[in-house]
Amino acid sequence: MTTNPPDEPAYSRWTWPTGPEDVPGGTASRADLSPRARRLGWFISGAGLVIVVAAMLPWKTIGPDHFNGTMGDGLLTGAFGLVAAAAGLGRVLTRREGRWTTIWPAVALTMATFTCLIAYTDVLAIAEIAPVGIGLLLTFVSGIGLAVASVIALLRRI
């Protein structure tokens, strides 16, 4: 048993914790999100918006008629692009590392996967009967770019 010197109270050797890392079972403070992570979030958001714009462009041309993506699956890819753009913006607005820095890219990757699957099947279906339009190709390429950026964000957690 430890005894204190007669003129020193027991509480004088104890100090208040200065932060969460000094408390037993406490957590260290989280780091701020890096500028690279914010740029990646802007790229994800931009790719999502490109998918939205691509949904309004021609997806196929049969004779003199142009068919936009909004006449079919482009409505789905446009909605997926909006969700991905919101996820990228959420990544940009997240101030500190944490759970949300992983959730936002996962949402964007899910939307990119659905967009690429829809665009790929439409390219295969349309290529047999008509020339593929710029909107469908842009949707597919933007979906791939969105998927790559999301995977980088998930793997590196930058």
Distances (CA, A) of 102 to 32, 33, 98: 14, 12, 7
Rounded Cα distance between 73 and 57, Å, is 12
* Contact by Cβ (8 Å): 87, 93: no
- For 63, phi then psi, to 5°, come to 65, -135
Chain segment 27-44, per-residue pLDDT in tens: 555 667 788 888 999 999
Mean pLDDT of the chain: 84
Chain segment 72-87, per-residue pLDDT in tens: 889 999 999 999 999 9
pLDDT at residue 149 greater than cutoff 90: yes
Rounded Cα distance between 2 and 95, Å, is 46
139-154: average pLDDT: 95
Q: How confident is the model at residue 26 (pLDDT cuts 50, 70, 90)?
A: low
* Confidence (pLDDT) at 42: 94
DSSP code, position 25: T
Q: How confident is the model at residue 18 (pLDDT cuts 50, 70, 90)?
A: low
Q: How confident is the model at residue 11 (pLDDT cuts 50, 70, 90)?
A: low
Q: Say which residue the tokens 């789905």 belong to.
A: 76
Chain segment 41-78, per-residue pLDDT in tens: 999 999 999 999 999 999 888 888 878 888 888 999 99
Query: Beta partners for 132?
Result: 60
* Confidence (pLDDT) at 37: 83
